[in-house]
Amino acid sequence: MLLAIDIGNTQTVIGLFRSPGTGTGTGPDNAPDRHGNLASAAETDLVDHWRIATYAERTSDEHALVVQEFLGFHGFSFDDDIDGIAISSVVPRSTAAFREMTEKYFGFRPVVIEPGVRTGMPILTENPREVGADRIANAVAALDLFGGPAIVIDFGTATTYDALSAKGEYLGGVIAPGVEISMDALYTRAAALRRVELVAPRSIIGRTTIESIQAGAIFGFAGQVDGICQRLTEELGAVTVVATGGLAALIAPHTSSIQRVEPWLTLHGLRLVFARNTVG
């Protein structure tokens, strides 16, 4: 079985797959639903998934204990059932800790998305080394599931937009402040405002301070998505717009541009990259 580990600045997502996977090749017509509300190829063989806070101080031994507990929920053996680990990370210290955990407790090296790893995707930015590993995993997965051209939106600590060509090339993208850190900034800098639950309000016209903040967050970021996607589409032509990340399902219904929601897109990309570096 394969562990796919996506280490973000705020949270780390761990997925457990039954097999490495070699790609679906389904192209852009694999799902009829506008917001991807069905079991897609990204979930094929995904046994379970877990989300933990990213804490750079956590040691390899502590990570091993957490993974062991997760695997135990399904009755899997920490020692016998895992034969591969794939990692994407934007936190170098956590990358090192998970790499050490893999070598120490599993006895093999993980596949880490970094320079020299085969992704099967040309990266046409001026400095490919600057592109985040999670963005590469997302792009690989989106091309496998939907083909190109495509726009991938990841609602994480930052909101990222990645442009993919019809030839399957990574062209570059856009980075904007994420929803939650924007809300944190509003709460920190405005003395009269407080933290609110991120849910859609009853109306765009907030009748309370809480609803007004919610309207600004939900509809404001939905407007950002539509505006940026419109500009990207003017350069790329007709595209598939796919969203992922913890808040994708919250923002997507209020946009006119997002066509697919794939919560486990990054994990699927990790699975594909692992296969391309180990199979055959």
- Point out the residues that are catalytic: 134
Question: Taking the alpha carbons of 11, 123, 260, 253 in that order, is the dihedral positive or negative?
Answer: positive
Angle (CA) 178 118 10, round 5°: 20
CB 60 within 8 A of CB 71: no
How is the beta sheet containing 111-112 ordered, strand by strand? Answer: 46-53, 11-17, 2-7, 84-89, 111-112
**Entry field: residues in the chain:** 280
Residue 219 tokens, joined: 């509809």
- Closest to 149 measured CA to CA, from 229, 221, 74: 229
**Alpha carbon 7 to its chain's center:** 10
DSSP conformation class of 123 = B
Positions of E strands within 11-123: 11-17, 46-53, 84-89, 111-112
At which residue do the structure tokens 């006895």 appear? 107
CA-to-CA distance for 256 and 272, rounded, in angstroms?
A: 30
CA-to-CA distance for 203 and 214, rounded, in angstroms?
A: 10
